[in-house]
Amino acid sequence: MGLLNIENVTHWSIPVNNLEESEKFYGDLLGLEHVGRLGNSRMTCYKVAEHSILLCERTNPVDVATNKQEQVHHSFTVSTETLKQACKLFKEHNVHIDQIVHRAQGFFTGRELYFFDPSGNRLELRDPTWSAGMPELTVDELAEG
């Protein structure tokens, strides 16, 4: 046991280049529940399940093309149907898809769709129902199905 007793997570913060563009992405496209803006600041809060996600507009926006941090990401659990719907919507809305991974071993097994938000943050939609031996469909195949 650690020296401190952390009770819960208050929120995770995600840096974004443009708050309004990011609100559309996280609220309208991903469907997270918008809780509201934090006063007159350039921050807005979303909720998914019991977790709060705070979008914080950067003072100095970063170049999306060079801001790809390969391992750092935020992951959301979804159903198979939601993953299929996301593949279709992301293609329609030109969301930059990084890759799809079919993870048969490890702590977080399942089918994982990695993609980027408009500010270059790497995100993941994880379908935990996929397991070894099931078909390993591509993003295009999932979008069609």
Average pLDDT along the chain = 92
CATH number of 71-145: 3.10.180.10
Which band of pLDDT confidence, cut at 50, 70 and 90, is reported for residue 111?
Answer: very high
For residue 71, is pLDDT > 80?
no
Determine whether domain 1-62 maps to CATH 3.40.718.10: no
Amino acid at 133: G
* 81-103 per-position pLDDT tens digit: 999 999 999 999 999 999 999 99
124 within 8 A of 30, measured Cβ to Cβ: no
Q: What is the pTM of this model?
A: 0.88
Q: What is the mean pLDDT of residues 7-25?
A: 92
Q: Which pLDDT score, from 0 to 100, does residue 3 have?
A: 83
Domain locations in the chain?
A: 1-62, 71-145
* 45-62 per-position pLDDT tens digit: 999 999 999 999 999 888
The contacts of residue 99 (CB under 8 Å, 6+ apart) are: 114
Which band of pLDDT confidence, cut at 50, 70 and 90, is reported for residue 69?
Answer: low
